[in-house]
Amino acid sequence: MRRAMLVVSVQPGQEVMETIAAQLAERGVTDGAVVSLIGAVDECCISNMPAEDASKDILTEYRQPFELTGTGEVKNGKVHLHVVLGREGDAALAGHLHWARVETFFVNAYVLAL
C-alpha cells in the first residue's frame, strides 16, 4: 500500500504545533510519522531532561530567529516533535518542541499518515 506524503505549511503569524495539529485534524490524520521539518522560526520553547531525573523536563524559551529541522510523530491526534535549531554564531540547540512562532519565513512538515 502506497501512502501519500502530506505537506503541512506554517506561515507567518502562525504557531507551529497548533497549525500542524489543526491541518492534520482537518485531513483526518490522527496517527502518522513526521518524516521531516524544515524552515525558520522567530521564537520558540524547547525542553531537555535534567541529568538526575529523565522523567522531568527543563523548558527554555528563546526570542530570536532560528533555522529549524526535525522529525516526530502524531499519535492519537497529538503532535510530538524533536528539533534542531541553528542560531547566529553557527550554534545549534536541540530538544522537544513545545511551541514556536513563525513571523518571517515558514515551516513545512512532511507527514506520512498511518
pLDDT at 3: 77
Q: Please calculate the CA angle 2-82-4 and round it to the nearest 5 degrees.
A: 15
Give Rg (Cα) of the chain: 14
Instruction: Find cell 515551516 and name the residue.
Output: 107
pLDDT, tens digit, 9 for 90 and up, residues 24-42: 999 999 999 999 999 999 9
By C-alpha distance, which of 73, 75, 67 is closest to 94? 67
Residue range 4-18: mean pLDDT, rounded: 97
pLDDT, tens digit, 9 for 90 and up, residues 51-79: 999 999 999 999 999 999 999 999 999 99
State the average pLDDT for the chain. Answer: 97
pLDDT at 94: 98
Task: Please report which confidence band the pLDDT of residue 103 belongs to, taking 50, 70 and 90 as the band edges.
Answer: very high
